[in-house]
Amino acid sequence: MNHNIGILIKELRLAKQISQSTLCENICSKEYISKIENGHKIPSDKIVKDIFNRLGENISAFYPMLSIAELIEFNADKKQIDDYLAKHEIENCMLYLNELSTHTLYLCGEPLQYLLGKRAYLMAQYQNDNKTAYELSVKALGITKDFYHIEEILNYQLYTLEELWMLFNIAFVLQKAPHLNKLTPIQLYTHILNYLQRGILNYDMIRQIYPLTCSYLADCYSRQNEQEKADYYIRKGIDFFNQNYALPLNFLNKLENKIKTSNPHGF
């Protein structure tokens, strides 16, 4: 369990304007909730799950829903897909995704969300099918978040990594097809980055999405001829790399070259 769980519970409760009395009703005492929030008590798994249900947030950011064996299989599949993408073997990647869709592991929850998200990304990046990519990303978000309009997703106080990738997908699609939603890529990328900076997810989990979000946010500002803001986010991505050695050197070189050339057209 994350030892900052009490701080997070308090943050979520205050953001949603819920009293301690309301939050703890039929779960535990008000005094116990207070001790949890102040870090004097570490609650049981059941109490944490009950609290998060009442807060209307997805607890899977802290409690993986998959078994150890399923996690190993899921991570192996992710690595295979990343390898295909690194080699630009797009057809093999799509075939592999199609094969995974028949496996029991990918029928619901986070694995299904991941599967739909990867399909969406490939459709937008390589097939220029932005409408389908947008719809798939929204559908994937709906697996774990309840909303009527996609704009409501920004009201949540807690996201899993897969949910953030779906928001990233939507921002990526809207860069190419802004007519699909009134939300702007800058709004979405900034929302993702602000969440990542809260420190709820660890560095290992965000090693890809943090610098990529910085990069695409910089690209958005470059296209608007706001180079000072673009350089600011490029530097944030580089600083993250320097602190965590999370990405290949060629990605770092691209970021640095982008500053030197002030290229308004991205990578």
Residue 1 has a pLDDT of 45
**Out of 51-55, 116-120, 251-255, least confident range:** 251-255
Structure confidence at residue 63 (pLDDT)? 61
Alpha-carbon gap, residue 180 to 25, rounded angstroms: 42
pLDDT of 159 above 90:
no
How high is the pLDDT of residue 192? Answer: 96
Over residues 192-203, the mean pLDDT reads 86
- Domain locations along the chain: 5-57
3-state secondary structure the chain: CCCCHHHHHHHHHHHCCCCHHHHHCCCCCHHHHHHHHCCCCCCCHHHHHHHHHHHCCCHHHCCCCCCHHHHHHHHHHHHHHHHHHHCCCHHHHHHHHHHHCCCHHHHCHHHHHHHHHHHHHHHHHHCCCHHHHHHHHHHHHCCCCCCCCHHHHHHCCCCCHHHHHHHHHHHHHHHHCHHHCCCCHHHHHHHHHHHHCCCCCCCCCCCCHHHHHHHHHHHHHHHCCCHHHHHHHHHHHHHHHHHHCCCCHHHHHHHHHHHHHCCCCCC
61: which 2 tokens?
A: 């950011």
User: What does CATH list as the number for 5-57?
Assistant: 1.10.260.40
**Over the stretch 131-141, which tens digit does the pLDDT of each residue have?**
999 999 999 99
**Would the pLDDT of 126 be above 70?**
yes
Confidence of residue 245 (pLDDT cuts 50, 70, 90): low
The pTM of this model reads 0.74
Stretch among 71-75, 155-159, 169-173, 201-205 having the lowest mean pLDDT: 201-205
- Residue 45 clears pLDDT 80, i.e. is over it: no
Q: Which residue has the higher pLDDT, 173 or 49?
A: 173
Percent of the chain clearing pLDDT 70 (strictly above): 87
Whether 246 has a pLDDT exceeding 50, the answer reads no
**Number of other CB atoms surrounding residue 241 within 10 Å:** 20
Lowest mean pLDDT among 64-73, 90-99, 132-141, 243-252: 243-252
Q: What pLDDT is stored for residue 256 in this prediction?
A: 57
